[in-house]
Amino acid sequence: MSVNLRDSDDRKDSQQWFICKRESGICKIVKSEDNDEEAIANSVESWGAFTSQGEAIAKRVGLIRAGKCQPI
């Protein structure tokens, strides 16, 4: 019986990332596995789900440049 290591790696990388805008205008990147569903639900605005943290960071940079989010 062989074990497919790629399947286990895919499960580790299958986290979803979201961008949540707070009332202050600052956008925070949260991982859905961090039990941050409350932060996502209570945000003024949210974007996602993104498959990687890097993708979420790139989107947040674009939102800052577009004036939709404030930089920290």
| pLDDT bracket for residue 14 (50, 70, 90) | low
Write down the pTM of the prediction: 0.74
**What is the structure's pLDDT at 34?**
55
**What is the structure's pLDDT at 50?**
96
**What is the structure's pLDDT at 64?**
97
Check residues 64 and 13 and name the one with the higher pLDDT.
64
Domain boundaries, the chain: 13-65
Note the pLDDT tens digit of each residue in 19-41: 999 999 999 999 987 566 777 88
Q: Which of 31-65 are b and which e, b meaning 16 or more Cβ less than 10 Å from the residue's Cβ? A: eeeeebeeebeebeebbbebeeeeebeebbeebee
